Structure 1
Amino acid sequence: MKSFPTLQTERLVLRELRMTDAGAIFANLSDAKTMEYFGMDPLTRLEQVEPIIEKNLQTYAEDRGIRWAITFREEDRLIGTIGYHHIDRAWFRSEIAYELNRSLWGKGVMREALLAVLPYGFDQMNLNRIEGLVSPENVGSLRLLEKSGFTKEGVLKEYMYFGGRFHDAVVYALLKSEFEA
């Protein structure tokens, strides 16, 4: 089996998810404010986390996606996750998705993590296009993508369904040629 890539930045280590991360993942994914735009309802029981971790590990093993645990260098405690999903190898594209513990919003942590995984997507995964689909109300995520070089392409009306209703999705994209420029 291939080894999971660990990425490092000035403040962060991005590593493979572990079952010992379950409590921290639950803390993030059960928080209603964090999950407001995530695309799924908040978790209600810790037991819901293990299948999520297993699915992410299986997705990586099958080369269908990759999701990193985000930790601080000085403390190996999960604070969020980031990764690629909906990979289309034939069309050299993928979606990026992420979430971060609410106590760390607005501190540049997710931008640092995003700027670490973009080169991996373009260079190691051979992607030409990385997409972000974001709720129009998720101002922080829209700002993150724009500050990281993504371009707004349009709105997919009622594209997502969670929380008992349909939601629009703003489409952002970053091309390899734009990233390298």
Structure 2
Amino acid sequence: MTVETILKEVPLLETERFRLRDLQDRDVEDFFANFSDEETMRYFGMAALTEQAQAVKMMKGMEEGRQENSAIRWAIARREDDRLIGTIGFHNWSVKSFRAEVGYEINRAYWGQGVATEVLRAVLKCGYEEMGLNRIEAIVIPENLASFRVLEKVGFKKEGLLQEYMHYNDRYHDAVILALLKREFLV
């Protein structure tokens, strides 16, 4: 698959427990439930949504990013009923530099069950093998220990502290940059 073809549609990826598919209109309620949850958004880098219309706008923005070759986002859906429990994807995609940043959020009811690790491996494999990425980065708030564990479990390495890198909820937040190179990725 080439850069030109992968972004014409979101490729379907499957793991043992989940289908990673395109976001659909029927996902709006579950998408909003995740992005309006204060605890889920605590480390995401943005304020929690307050209206379902914001979720619709955000989902449209994700689709526009795909069309512009700058981002791609998958719905994380349970295999048994295809219900969205989170999203994962690449943004800040530099096609010319063969790199992108990965991000994800999972519904709080599924925390601690290995969901992020399972779906992250599938997305990384697609990024390296199908999208031609060489470097995948992650930006994490220092207090988000669970996300550090997930990223380090699949091979990401911390590279440095980005001081006052993000601004949300009326204050600046430091962030840590981690990265994983294609040659270091083990399926």
- Match of 2:136? 130
CA deviation after TM superposition for structure 1 residue 11, in Å: 0.5
* 1:40 paired residue among 40, 46, 57: 46
Alpha-carbon deviations, 1:59-118, whole Å to 9, x = none? 112222100000111011100000000011221111000000001001001110000000
- Match of 2:150? 144
Equivalent-residue separation in structure 2 for 1:180 and 1:105 (angstroms): 24
CA deviation after TM superposition for structure 1 residue 180, in Å: 4.8
Hey, which bits of structure 1, 4+ residues long, moved more than 4 A? none
Equivalent-residue separation in structure 2 for 1:144 and 1:112 (angstroms): 9
**Counterpart of 1:168 in 2: which secondary structure?**
strand
Equivalent-residue separation in structure 2 for 1:82 and 1:34 (angstroms): 14
> Do the aligned residues in 1 keep the contact of 2:22 with 2:74 (CA within 8 Å)?
yes
**Counterpart of 2:185 in 1: which secondary structure?**
helix
* 1:5 paired residue among 11, 14, 17: 11
CA deviation after TM superposition for structure 1 residue 57, in Å: 1.3
Aligned length: 181
Give, as a single letter, the amino acid of the residue that structure 1 aligns with 2:12. Answer: T
Q: Over aligned residues, Cα RMSD in angstroms?
A: 1.3
When normalised by structure 2's length, the TM-score is 0.94
Matched, 1:174 2:180: yes
- Match of 2:100? 94
- Match of 1:25? 31
When normalised by structure 1's length, the TM-score is 0.97
- Match of 2:63? 57
**Counterpart of 1:133 in 2: which secondary structure?**
strand
Matched, 1:15 2:21: yes
**Counterpart of 1:154 in 2: which secondary structure?**
strand
Equivalent-residue separation in structure 1 for 2:172 and 2:37 (angstroms): 20
- Match of 1:158? 164
- Structure 2 unmatched ranges of 5 or more: none
**Counterpart of 1:177 in 2: which secondary structure?**
helix
Equivalent-residue separation in structure 1 for 2:96 and 2:68 (angstroms): 16
Matched, 1:75 2:81: yes
